[in-house]
Structure 1
Amino acid sequence: MGVRLRRLREERGLTQVALARALDLSASYLNQLEKNQRPLTVPILLKINAVFGVDVQLFSEDEEARLIADLRDVMADPGLDEEIALTELREIASNMPAVGRAIVKQHRRLRQASERADALAMRLGVGTEEHEPAQLMPFEQVRDYFYAHHNYFAELDEAAEKLFAAARLTVGDCAAGLKRYLSDRLRIQVVIEAPNEQTHAQRSFEAPARVLRLSSTLMPGQLAFEMATQLAYLEMGDTIDKLARDAASGSEETYRLARIGLANHFAGALIMPYGRFFEAAERLRYDIELLRQRFGVGFETICHRLSTLQRPNARGVPFFFVRVDRAGNISKRQSATDFHFSRVGGSCPLWNVYEAFSVPGRILTQLATMPDGRTYLWIARTVSRGHGGYGAPSKTFAIGLGCDMSHANRLVYAKGLDLKDQSAAVPIGAGCKICERPACPQRAFPAIGRRTAIDENERRFTPYPVA
């Protein structure tokens, strides 16, 4: 933490004496802080926040862990042909965080450039390299943008709370109030009708006619969410546009996807306003079923909203939210914590999110340890959706919600678990290709950057043993 304090001082062009005076400390005490000989206490952090207006999250261990996770993702690139020890990455993250962030940014630019070069080569009919390029797709750019912002956007959350009050909405029954607001304030007619049999559209807005059509198959909470999403484009268009252009980096497709993601964020914040939702979550110990009953929305919507509670003066549990299908494809991934799975080689089959498919509708809990020693509490359950009668196709996903073990005692789901017994935790990894566990029976691929022990005269229980 001393390195970060010193960097903050140098960025402001202050001497140690000047900063010590601003923080009401002695110069010798500040010198000890910068040399990591004294801890940064909460009162000092609050003084730093008051004097400089910086988020105390800058001094959080979670920020360092997030950077380590990003650096490990970079070093997993097979093109580097270099095995970097985790201790070295920790050194960079703790003592040279700005350098670490620059490495991550440069690597992402390289991936984008490689993607463009490969696309151009395909158009020109020129052969590409044998290995598949690491592509950063538009939806991945949007994921990274939300990840960088801890899945929280103050502009949207604060505006949603004000609109909730102005529209006189009711917690748990927002649909009627939103319909009234759209009609009285914006002169928009809301029509609930059977969905188009060809498109099965749940929401369709006809701007010239000022008509918002919603599917009659939607539940009240879903109707409220769709109306709130359309309201986001109408009332918060400029703010959403600014944030989306910041996320897009010139990509039109990324820009449009970011607008949808930000509008959905605003919709969730409107029907589950931050202050009320945070108070209820803390009081109910993050019981998802009770929160569903309180706010009148689905399991997935509650889990997604829980992953956004990162307001500086009222932080909830920093969650990692994920949605996967039976094939292991991750279709949603939002993180307010340092945890994230690598893009290289999928996720871990020992993770309880996949087990949820075997017991549909039941909430499963799991203590899981990552290779770096950090342990997480995971909650998983399946959700299903359909849009027709008998024989019509439906979709089923598993929803996962996880937090660091340091926050587990705040959750009702820790009841009955021995949080102090490290041996009870299931060892999982970020993905087979970068997981360094040497004896995992579920390994699907050899680890990148490590030589596999190949012996035709011996067969082991553990696949792809490391030499």
Structure 2
Amino acid sequence: MRIESSKSANFVNFSALRNLALRRYISLPMQKMRIKIRIVANDFMADELMRKAFMGVRLRRLREEKKLKQVELAQALGISASYLNQLEQNQRPLTVPVLLKLNAVFDIDVQLFSEEDEARLITELREALSEGGQDESVSIAEIRELAANMPAVGRTLVSLHRRYREATERGDALAAQLGDDWITGGPARMPFEQVRDFFYARHNHVEILDEAAERLYRDAVLGPRSVHNGLIAYLKHRHDVRVDLTGAEASQRRFDPAQRALHISADLKPGQQAFQMATQLAFLELGDVIDRLADNGGLTGEEARRLARIGLANYFAGALILPYGDFLAAAKASAYDIEALGRRYGVGFETISHRLSTLQRPEARGVPFFFVRVDRAGNISKRQSATDFHFSRVGGSCPLWNVYEAFAQPGKVLTQIARMPDGRTYLWIARTVGRGNAAYGVPGKTFAVGLGCDIRHASQLVYSRGIDLTRPDAATPIGAGCKVCDRPACPQRAFPPIGRAIAVDQNRSPLTPYPVA
């Protein structure tokens, strides 16, 4: 933006001029100075500036607070009543001379008209309105209009949303203290949470799909290293579906019913391609079974049921590639060596780990594992449990957990004995998984996978070799998440525990953040 004086040309940034006027470092004799604003930025910047200059609602609010009529305010600003009316109706933009006159006459905070505050409010409103679960989405244009013209209403909405989140976290903390059985019976907030609880209630084991996968494995004469080619032949022979592995697909799997063609991304490894083929096969052969399973009272909406169908098809795919009886025998023979099992079946670390968490057939149980996948930011994108490990639903998970240490040592299997606040102790295995960039400038994806079991099962695992499982002091104290963790002396605490008073003493600086009173 360029500001020109009738006497000389001065190039000044609009925000800088506003801030200088606010701090009274300068005084502009507006009566003697003719100011003209020229936009010299690109069209986008021009549109942004002109949009932000229309602030009629804020001007009306200021007039109402000062209890002035339009004529009275116009006289105070030295403008006509009709011009003021046009400003208030957003028919004319608020100019720099009028803004500075408002500051001079009423000594107001010019930040009332600040675009920086508006941008911050827009961000907060987008977050609040995206989590509201409303049926109708709110466009960014509507959010901008609300932030620009009715900021007080916007801030009220943000405040209400903040209180809602606090109340929800307190409820989740109470639920975590009451136990997982109570949580499972309660309503889930989001469709993906309903699906997660759907599998949790079954201890991550769906017997009917395991049995169907074993039958198909036998009927198609598949083997650990022949699943990929075997599924291609089976889909063609049984369902007249042609598998195309040559295209650069935007998605991992795309089925064209009209052409009877299944397109699988060529970027996937053979084991991943086989998994996608098996997932589509689940819909072709077991669609009715999957629909019946997804027709569950705990899944309250169509979105949740669709997600459950995909989850069940994925379960079948894992069960077909790693058939229950054969896989359980191989797992026990290798002392649950994940990498050795991956080489045997031609699939990755994550696929093996997830399948190990499903082996809970009543007459042939494996070690009851719990499985988790996290990203660098601490988001848990997958979690399944064959037992009763308390995954955090509130405020993230514990930074002392070795699943986060895995990012510092990519590709290396890490082990940890960890003790929860309730005294239960577990053996955890963690390693990074993912793939690099598909091309230059295209981001890859990296996760850390964790697989854990109760310490009483640890001796069956190859990962316990060399570890004294009987030493209490060998365990790392971890928690389900700072907001629900009862450990009062944890130096890694990021939040105070919900519902506990904090010891605040200005004369002491404790080593522990947020010491509990």
Q: Give the counterpart letter for 2:307 in structure 1.
A: L
Taking the TM superposition and a 5 Å limit, the aligned residue runs for 1:85-124 are 101=181, 103-104=182-183, 108-109=186-187
Alpha-carbon shift at residue 340 of structure 1 (Å):
2.5
2:295 partner SS = helix
Does structure 1 residue 139 correspond to structure 2 residue 231? no
2:229 aligned residue: 176
2:460 aligned residue: 410
1:374 aligned residue: 424
Does structure 1 residue 153 correspond to structure 2 residue 203? no
Alpha-carbon shift at residue 387 of structure 1 (Å):
6.0
Residues 1:137 and 1:295: Cα distance change in structure 2 (over 3 Å): same
Deviations along 1:422-458, whole A, 9 cap, x unmatched?
A: 1000000010001000100000000111100011111
- Which of 312, 334, 344 is residue 284 of structure 1 equivalent to? 334
Alpha-carbon shift at residue 79 of structure 1 (Å):
5.4
Aligned counterparts of 1:76 and 1:371: Cα–Cα separation in 2: 23
Using the size of structure 1 for normalisation, the TM-score is 0.72
2:257 aligned residue: 207
1:333 partner SS = strand
1:315 aligned residue: 365
Alpha-carbon shift at residue 217 of structure 1 (Å):
1.1
Aligned counterparts of 2:460 and 2:452: Cα–Cα separation in 1: 13
1:165 aligned residue: 218
Aligned counterparts of 2:508 and 2:468: Cα–Cα separation in 1: 39
| Contact residue 161 and residue 270 of structure 1 kept, 8 A | yes
Aligned counterparts of 1:410 and 1:206: Cα–Cα separation in 2: 46
1:125 aligned residue: none
Aligned counterparts of 2:292 and 2:453: Cα–Cα separation in 1: 31
1:338 aligned residue: 388
Does structure 1 residue 270 correspond to structure 2 residue 320? yes
| Contact residue 200 and residue 384 of structure 2 kept, 8 A | yes
Aligned counterparts of 1:171 and 1:291: Cα–Cα separation in 2: 10
Taking the TM superposition and a 5 Å limit, the aligned residue runs for 1:413-428 are 413-428=463-478
Aligned counterparts of 1:211 and 1:82: Cα–Cα separation in 2: 50
| Contact residue 386 and residue 392 of structure 1 kept, 8 A | no
Deviations along 1:90-134, whole A, 9 cap, x unmatched?
A: xxx8xxxxxx95x5466x23xx5xxxxxxxxxxxxxxxxxxxxxx
Alpha-carbon shift at residue 331 of structure 1 (Å):
0.3
2:492 aligned residue: 442
Aligned counterparts of 1:222 and 1:407: Cα–Cα separation in 2: 30
Taking the TM superposition and a 5 Å limit, the aligned residue runs for 1:7-406 are 78=170, 101=181, 103-104=182-183, 108-109=186-187, 136-196=189-249, 200-246=250-296, 249-386=299-436, 388-406=438-456
| Contact residue 195 and residue 299 of structure 2 kept, 8 A | no
Aligned counterparts of 1:235 and 1:314: Cα–Cα separation in 2: 26
Alpha-carbon shift at residue 80 of structure 1 (Å):
9.8
Aligned counterparts of 1:380 and 1:234: Cα–Cα separation in 2: 35
Alpha-carbon shift at residue 227 of structure 1 (Å):
0.5
Q: Give the counterpart letter for 1:289 in structure 2.
A: E
Does structure 1 residue 432 correspond to structure 2 residue 495? no
Deviations along 1:25-61, whole A, 9 cap, x unmatched?
A: xxxxxxxxxxxxxxxxxxxxxxxxxxxxxxxxxxxxx
| Contact residue 172 and residue 394 of structure 2 kept, 8 A | no
Alpha-carbon shift at residue 346 of structure 1 (Å):
1.0
Q: Give the counterpart letter for 2:170 in structure 1.
A: P
1:463 aligned residue: 513
Residues 1:81 and 1:195: Cα distance change in structure 2 (over 3 Å): closer
Residues 1:457 and 1:362: Cα distance change in structure 2 (over 3 Å): same
Residues 1:247 and 1:201: Cα distance change in structure 2 (over 3 Å): farther
| Contact residue 191 and residue 299 of structure 2 kept, 8 A | no
| Contact residue 365 and residue 377 of structure 1 kept, 8 A | yes
Aligned counterparts of 2:437 and 2:174: Cα–Cα separation in 1: 50
Q: Give the counterpart letter for 2:221 in structure 1.
A: R
Aligned counterparts of 2:200 and 2:475: Cα–Cα separation in 1: 26
- The CA RMSD measured in Å over matched residues stands at 2.1
2:84 aligned residue: none
Alpha-carbon shift at residue 201 of structure 1 (Å):
1.0
Alpha-carbon shift at residue 216 of structure 1 (Å):
1.1
Alpha-carbon shift at residue 153 of structure 1 (Å):
0.3
Alpha-carbon shift at residue 342 of structure 1 (Å):
2.1
Aligned counterparts of 1:273 and 1:82: Cα–Cα separation in 2: 40
2:43 aligned residue: none
Residues 1:83 and 1:166: Cα distance change in structure 2 (over 3 Å): closer
| Contact residue 369 and residue 387 of structure 2 kept, 8 A | yes
Deviations along 1:198-247, whole A, 9 cap, x unmatched?
A: xx211110011100011111111111111000000000101111111216
Number of residue pairs aligned between Structure 1 and Structure 2:
351
Aligned counterparts of 1:80 and 1:176: Cα–Cα separation in 2: 47
Q: Which runs of 5+ in 2 are unaligned?
A: 1-166
2:164 aligned residue: none
Aligned counterparts of 2:461 and 2:272: Cα–Cα separation in 1: 26
2:368 partner SS = coil
Deviations along 1:60-90, whole A, 9 cap, x unmatched?
A: xxxxxxxxxxxxxxx9962599899x7xx6x
2:358 partner SS = coil
Deviations along 1:334-391, whole A, 9 cap, x unmatched?
A: 1101102121111000000000000000000000000010000000000122462333
Q: Give the counterpart letter for 1:164 in structure 2.
A: Y
Using the size of structure 2 for normalisation, the TM-score is 0.65
Q: Give the counterpart letter for 2:353 in structure 1.
A: C
Structure with the larger RCO, 1 or 2 (CA within 8 Å, 6+ apart) = 1
Aligned counterparts of 1:415 and 1:450: Cα–Cα separation in 2: 41
1:323 partner SS = strand
